[in-house]
Amino acid sequence: MNGWVDRLFGIRRPMPGWTRWVLPLLPLGLLLALYLSAAYERREENPNDKLLPLPADFVKAAKLSFTENEFTGEIPMVEDLKSSLWIFSISFIAAVFVSLVVGLHVGAWSWANDMFDPILRFLSYLPPLALLPLVILFLGIGITAKTGWPQR
C-alpha cells in the first residue's frame, strides 16, 4: 500500500492529521444526505408533506419564530423561552428544596435513614429516563408533568 492509505487503514498506525476533523463529520454528512434525499423525494410525491421539512421550511420557521406577532406584539421565541425558564426554575427550586429536606433528615436521624434508605437505594440504580413513562402515565405531558403540580 502507499503512504496515506496504509496509515489510514493500517492497524494501530498513527492517523493523518486531516482525519481528526474529517472522520467525525463523515457520519453527520451521510445522515444529512440521507435526510435531504428522503425529504426531496417525499416533497415530489406530495408538495404539502410536513413529515420531513426541507431546509427552506426550517429557515421560514426560524424567521417566523423571531418575528413580532402583529396582534399581541410578542415575539414567539422570547415568550416560549420565558415560559420554559419559568417552568425550569420552579421545578429546580422544588427539587432542591425537597432533596435538602429529605437529605438532612436522613443524615441527621437514624429513624429517617431507616425509613427512606430502602427506597433511596432502589431509586439510585434506576436511570431517570426509565421513570419517564411512569411520569407520563401518572402526570400526563402538560405543565403538570413538568412541575409536579397544575398551573394556576
d(C-alpha 38, C-alpha 51), whole Å: 10
Q: Is the pTM above the cut of 0.75? A: no
Domains of the chain by residue range: 1-65, 74-152
d(C-alpha 56, C-alpha 77), whole Å: 19
Percent of the chain with pLDDT over 70: 89
d(C-alpha 71, C-alpha 23), whole Å: 49
d(C-alpha 134, C-alpha 148), whole Å: 13
Q: Are 63 and 77 in contact (CB under 8 A)?
A: no
| Predicted confidence (pLDDT) at residue 146 exceeds the cutoff of 70 | no
Mean pLDDT, residues 57-85 taken together:
92
Residue that is written with C-alpha cell 431517570 in the block: 128
Mean pLDDT, residues 57-73 taken together:
93
- List Cβ neighbours of 13 (8 Å cut-off, separation of 6 or more): 6, 7
pLDDT at 11 (0 to 100): 75
Digit-coded pLDDT (tens) for 36-49: 999 999 999 999 98
Q: Are 6 and 14 in contact (CB under 8 A)?
A: no
